[in-house]
Amino acid sequence: MKRDVVDFYHSLINDQTAALAREQMNEGLRRRKCYFGDRPLCTVLRPNFYTPEQWAYLKYETEIVLGAFRKAHAACFHNPIMRAQLDLEAYEEALFSLDIGFDVPWTTSRLDSFFTLDDMKLKFVEYNAETPAGIAYDDAVSDVFLELDLFKTFNEAYHTRTFPVRQGLFQSLAEVYRQWGGVGIPNIAIVDWADVPTLNEHELCKIHFESEGARVVLADPRELEYRGGRLYAGDFAIDLIYKRVLCSELIERMGLENPIVHALRDHNVVMSNAFSAKLMAKKASFAFLSDERNHFLFNADEVQAIGEHIPWTRRVEERVTQFHDQRIDLVEYVADHRDQFVLKPNDEYGGKGVVMGWEVTDEVWAETLRTALTTPFVVQEKVRVAYEDYPSLIDDQIDISPRLVDADPFVFFGRTTSGCMTRLSSSSLLNVTAGGGSIVPSFIIYKRDA
């Protein structure tokens, strides 16, 4: 069905419909502030489609893997020996045990994957458990597609369904506030640096939260004050922090003794996601799940899901381990088989520091591996990526060409999946804010009855 749907959509595109769609899309994206500088967030003319069966599989398998992440988090939270596998920084050790006042440290998160639809192979490559981006953008770009004449014509043949993920985000924050002991609708501060490229997304969240009845402010952490038992942004008293600033950057710039930490210690503000969400945001969390030494923590379904959906991953260290059906000397084997592996810093984001063995020389691989032995890194087995054809207008000519496609389901309370960000790229790294690629919304498709 998926192939037929894509072929039908592409059959609707000609010079006239493509030019009109691009004009309508760019206008809709500007109106919703979905630009990075002068570059639109979406640069192709088709959304991503899932059949109901494909979406059900993605949701079901994701939620089994999430169960394993929850157990890994609990084990690392309570056991310092197991927690050592995550290579936490000293400041993280100091912060993760703060009493958060609610049940689950990661109210919202995002699991990034490659999902090849032809054979239903799903491989997760990263867990954005600390400050997942893209929720508001996904809603906004979905709304843009719904306005296109091209998409309206397509909808004459197919029903489509998408997900209002900002609504799920607000409901999750409201539940956190209730569990913490708050009453009514909280005053929300969306906290991040004033110069981040995702500031427009924060503004979209602010608009939605206000439509739900909340009072909301965008606040740079450096502007916050803790006085009289309340955290303030100017004269705005904050009940709940929707934390978008990265923990590492917050502590690096402001130290441990900052107003946010003081207010949290005194239980005078609630923050989501909590600092302890960082435990599973480490790249080493994939090594924790993948490592045979830890499989006693998980039930049979979780071990099977880990084997099927978590690529083989290990912390880079001198050790002997299991690689599929053989015992290997880890460092020696990785050094000799660079075409099979990726090296990733344990605590970076946006593709920073990631080295793909098949794309570099022996010398670069060896140097990166030496660095990885002295700085926390993981090594991860290469996964098969997904490609699909997407249409765009290049120099006023229609171009339908293959793009690298990922599938990034949004997760609420670390348990349930709703909505899915899709990123496209012509390069091996998919990171839109870093200056390349495109975001497209995902729709579930149903054939209309004749």
The two structure tokens encoding residue 216:
């909301």
Distance CA 120, CA 207 (A): 37
pLDDT digits (tens, 9 = 90+) for 128-181: 999 999 999 999 999 999 999 999 999 999 999 998 899 999 999 999 999 999
The two structure tokens encoding residue 47:
């959304």
DSSP, residue by residue, 323-362: ETTEEEEHHHHHHH-GGGEEEEETT--TTTT-EEGGGS-H
Distance CA 233, CA 195 (A): 17
Burial class (CB in 10 A: 0-12, 13-18, 19+), 116: middle
pLDDT score, position 3: 86
pLDDT score, position 38: 77
pTM of the model: 0.92
The two structure tokens encoding residue 325:
């059906």
Classify 272 as helix, strand or coil. strand
User: 131, 243 in Cβ contact below 8 A?
Assistant: yes
Tokens 């699909």, located at residue: 388
DSSP, residue by residue, 232-259: EETTEEESEEEE-S-HHHHHHHH-SSSH
**Any idea where the domains of the chain sit in the sequence?**
2-280+386-447
User: 169, 163 in Cβ contact below 8 A?
Assistant: no
pLDDT score, position 433: 43
The two structure tokens encoding residue 239:
């009940």
Distance CA 34, CA 111 (A): 22
DSSP, residue by residue, 28-80: HHHHTT-EETTEES--SS--EEE-HHHHHHHHHHHHHHHHHHHHHHHHHHH-H
Low-confidence ranges of the chain (pLDDT < 70): 1, 350, 427-436, 450
Distance CA 413, CA 141 (A): 24
Secondary structure in 3-state letters for 401-449? EEEEECEEEEEECCCEEEEEEEEEECCCCCCCCCCCCEEECEEEEEECC
pLDDT score, position 1: 67
Tokens 């489509």, located at residue: 160
